[in-house]
DNA sequence: TATATTATCGAACACTCGTTCGAAATTGTT
DNA sequence: AACAATTTCGAACGAGTGTTCGATAATATA
């Protein structure tokens, strides 16, 4: 069966991608050498090239697989839900949940977006555009439905992405609230910020957790 | 007089820093070679080393000068203002104004924060910590004063920095609202988000500008 | 067990990088 | 004009880079 053989190949490819993502996340894409990856994976320098054809394609494989999963999962989650507010909440929750659970890959996706070029860049960016369009469409719908005034939809959308994607710069899973708490905080922050207190934002968020205000208030280390 | 001679030196140093920041911002710190900078400045490779002792110190000089200005200006602006809400508004306004007017340097500061190491890293990070402490202190005061519940101060503060620092990824001065509009939008977004509609956020923001909702709503390109 | 396919490796190549150094040119000072 | 200080430069060095290639090992197939 070719299935068995392909499974072995795929397993090792995933291992290579995961290990590479961890190193890229830690020291950056450009300063990382293929020799670093060889050392970390226990493979030889040339042996790695059996799984990718260039360093840039390695970066692409990480980004493409990672973003593909986020996009796919968000569509699956949003299917069948009509209310744009509820849809946006699900998008945020999915995004942050995936981010926290795949911090290395998401950091590489966010931080090394311009370390890739040509067709590979275009492929990743197509997915990115679809994702941004999805979110901005929701923000736009909400603005129209709730007659939001004085806030630019584009600014609001990218501010939301800023809140979410910046977390790789400060989030510490051992010190901060967990993924659910993060979703709750950022969803509340954005939604009542965007709606400006004019909407029923009192509605409890799906993942109802207790307040985390008591924790970490005096801990200011970045 | 040494003043005249130092002025010439300083003038050229600033020119080198500004040119380098532009290239770092465009193609990244690591992929940029000193030869790239030599070409762009019209100087020779070795001639550049009269103005810095290593590539890493060049990055440091850009970051340190840039952040020093932001920190200094913010303290100057906040001096004499007591109300924490008003103080935070001024901080946001100053941050975004400086960001928009020095996009290259601020991108290098935000995006290349970990491209520097050792003592140089520590020096920049000290200023960064002071700045974060200042902002988080304000957010904390506001939370206490307005009895904000259900939002983690640390999450809120870094979400604010996420909104502000992410702009180098999408902001286009020819397409988007100007610096004042950006401040107004993000201030409103964060404050009514954080206060959750329970405070007098109706108060007009300093830089009173008309709404920009009508612009760019259907323009979704990243 | 013999054979074909998949996977791995050592060694090397061509190239770019940051940095140095002594000399030359420019500028400022008497 | 003569001298000193500042500023610039060409040429080179040593180290590290991504990638290739032919051969070898490991695995699957028959």
| Tens digits of residue pLDDT in A112-139 | 999 999 999 999 999 999 999 999 999 9
Q: How confident is the model at residue B93 (pLDDT cuts 50, 70, 90)?
A: very high
Cβ-Cβ pairs closer than 8 A, A with B, add up to 193
Cβ pair A193:B198 closer than 8 A: no
Please say if the pLDDT value at position B99 is more than 60. Answer: yes
Residue A48 CA to C9 C1' — how many Å? 10
Report yes or no: B130 at the A interface, CB cutoff 8 Å: no
Smallest Cα distance from A7 to chain B, Å: 36
Cβ pair B132:A158 closer than 8 A: no
Cβ pair B162:A158 closer than 8 A: no
Kindly state the average pLDDT of the residues A32-60: 98
Residue A5 CA to D26 C1' — how many Å? 13
B216-219 long-range Cβ contacts below 8 angstroms, 24+ apart: B216/A152, B216/A153, B216/A154, B216/B175, B216/B176, B217/A140, B217/A152, B217/A153, B217/A154, B219/A154, B219/B175
- For tokens 């902002």, the residue is B135
Least confident of A197-201, B119-123, B159-163, B177-181: A197-201
**More confidently predicted of B77 and B207:** B77
Least confident of A45-54, B2-11, B121-130, B197-206: B197-206
Give the model confidence (pLDDT) of B26-37 as tens digits. 999 999 999 999
Report yes or no: B117 at the A interface, CB cutoff 8 Å: no
CB count in 10 Å sphere of residue A194? 27
Report yes or no: A214 at the B interface, CB cutoff 8 Å: no
Q: For residue B192, what pLDDT is reported?
A: 87
CA torsion through residues B32, B37, B39, B45, sign: negative
Query: How much of chain A, in percent, has pLDDT values that exceed 90?
Result: 82
- Of the candidates B155, B188, B198, the beta carbon closest to that of A176 is on B155
Residues for chain A: how many in total? Answer: 222
Name residues whose C-beta falls within 8 Å of residue A123's C-beta, 6 or more positions apart in sequence. Answer: A60, A64
Instruction: Give the residue among B92, B136, B111 at the shortest CA–CA distance from B29.
Output: B111
Report yes or no: A209 at the B interface, CB cutoff 8 Å: no
Please say if the pLDDT value at position A5 is more than 70. Answer: no
* Cα–Cα distance for residue pair B1/A148, rounded to 1 Å: 62
Nearest nucleotide, C1' to the C-alpha of A49? D19
Instruction: Give the residue among B114, B130, B11, B20 at the shortest CA–CA distance from B67.
Output: B130
Smallest Cα distance from B168 to chain A, Å: 10
Kindly state the average pLDDT of the residues B161-187: 97
Q: For residue B213, what pLDDT is reported?
A: 29
Residue B47 CA to C23 C1' — how many Å? 13
Kindly state the average pLDDT of the residues B200-209: 39
Residue nearest to nucleotide C5 (CA to C1'): A5
Give this prediction's pTM: 0.89
Cβ pair B159:A148 closer than 8 A: no
Kindly state the average pLDDT of the residues A1-10: 58
Q: How confident is the model at residue A214 (pLDDT cuts 50, 70, 90)?
A: very low
Tokens linked to B79: 């001096």
Within 7 Å of a protein beta carbon, the nucleotides of strand C are 6-12, 16-22, 27-29
Q: Which residues, numbered 74 to 113 in chain B, qualify as contacts with chain A under a Cβ-Cβ cut-off of 8 Å?
A: 111, 113
C-alpha distances (whole Å) from B14 to each of B17, B43, B57, B62, B66 are 5, 14, 14, 9, 11
By three-state DSSP, how is residue B105 classified? helix
Q: For residue A138, what pLDDT is reported?
A: 97
Please say if the pLDDT value at position B12 is more than 70. Answer: yes
C-alpha distances (whole Å) from B205 to each of A150, A157, B179, B184, B185 are 12, 21, 14, 7, 10
Residue B98 CA to D8 C1' — how many Å? 34
Q: How confident is the model at residue A185 (pLDDT cuts 50, 70, 90)?
A: very high
Kindly state the average pLDDT of the residues A154-170: 98
Instruction: Give the residue among B205, B111, B220 at the shortest CA–CA distance from B175.
Output: B220
* Cα–Cα distance for residue pair B139/A189, rounded to 1 Å: 13
DSSP character string of A113-154: TTS--HHHHHHHHHHHHHHHHHHHHHHHHHHHHTT--S--HH
Q: For residue A57, what pLDDT is reported?
A: 98
Instruction: Give the residue among A163, A193, A49, A55 at the shortest CA–CA distance from A115.
Output: A55
Tokens linked to A92: 């945020």
């Amino acid at each position: 069966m070719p299935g068995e053989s392909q499974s072995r190949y795929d397993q090792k490819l995933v291992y290579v991608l995961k290990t590479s993502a961890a190193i890229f996340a830690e020291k950056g894409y450009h300063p990382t050498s293929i020799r670093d990856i060889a050392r970390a994976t226990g493979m030889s320098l040339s042996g790695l090239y059996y799984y990718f054809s260039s360093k840039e394609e390695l970066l692409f494989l990480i980004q493409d697989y990672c973003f593909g999963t986020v996009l796919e999962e968000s569509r699956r989650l949003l299917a069948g839900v009509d209310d744009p507010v509820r849809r946006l909440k699900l998008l945020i929750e999915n995004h942050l949940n995936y981010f926290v659970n795949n911090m290395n890959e998401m950091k590489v996706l966010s931080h090394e977006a311009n370390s890739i070029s040509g067709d590979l860049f275009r492929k990743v960016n197509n997915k990115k555009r679809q994702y941004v369009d999805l979110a901005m469409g929701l923000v736009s719908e909400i603005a129209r439905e709730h007659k939001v005034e004085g806030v630019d939809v584009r600014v609001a959308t990218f501010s939301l992405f800023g809140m979410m994607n910046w977390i790789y710069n400060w989030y510490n899973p051992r010190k901060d609230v967990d993924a659910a708490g993060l979703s709750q905080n950022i969803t509340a922050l954005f939604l009542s910020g965007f709606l400006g207190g004019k909407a029923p934002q009192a509605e409890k968020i799906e993942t109802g957790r207790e307040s985390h205000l008591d924790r970490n208030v005096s801990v200011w280390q970045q």
